[in-house]
């Protein structure tokens, strides 16, 4: 069973990098609103990889909840639309352009939010 929203937010506050913390907190709001309170139950932590369109947070949610397997990350962005589609890195769903080293830190940040201690 996934953590409550309050637990997820509290765990996100532990993310050391301020930029990544703020982005993941914004992303947490998006996934909760779009996929419901149990969104984290649909993530396979061992497979989570923010650099992969099918293993990232949005990719896994699209595949496990909506059954979308062809380019699930891009499909999710098109469905969510608005600011998230235009700038997914601002929500912790992607690295800032040119900052590919961020993918590991983003993956670790999302894992902190969803994994058990």
The 10 Å Cβ neighbour count of residue 58 is 28
Decide if 114 contacts 27 (C-beta within 8 A): no
Question: Over 70: is that where the pLDDT of 117 sits?
Answer: no
Q: Minimum mean pLDDT among 11-20, 48-57, 74-83, 98-107: which range? A: 74-83
What's the predicted TM-score (pTM) here?
Answer: 0.91
pLDDT digits (tens, 9 = 90+) for 35-89: 999 999 999 999 999 999 999 999 999 998 878 778 899 989 988 878 999 999 9
For the chain, how many residues are written? 117
């Amino acid at each position: 069973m996934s953590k409550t929203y309050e637990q997820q937010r509290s765990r996100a506050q532990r993310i050391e990098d301020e930029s990544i913390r703020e982005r993941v907190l914004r992303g947490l709001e998006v996934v909760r609103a779009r996929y419901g309170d149990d969104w984290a139950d649909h993530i396979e932590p061992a497979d989570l990889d923010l650099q992969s369109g099918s293993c990232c947070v949005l990719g896994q949610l699209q595949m496990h909840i909506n059954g979308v397997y062809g380019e699930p990350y891009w499909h999710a962005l098109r469905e969510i639309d608005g600011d998230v589609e235009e700038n997914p890195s601002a929500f912790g769903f992607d690295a800032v352009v040119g900052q590919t080293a961020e993918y590991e830190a983003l993956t670790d940040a999302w894992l902190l939010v969803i994994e058990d201690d």
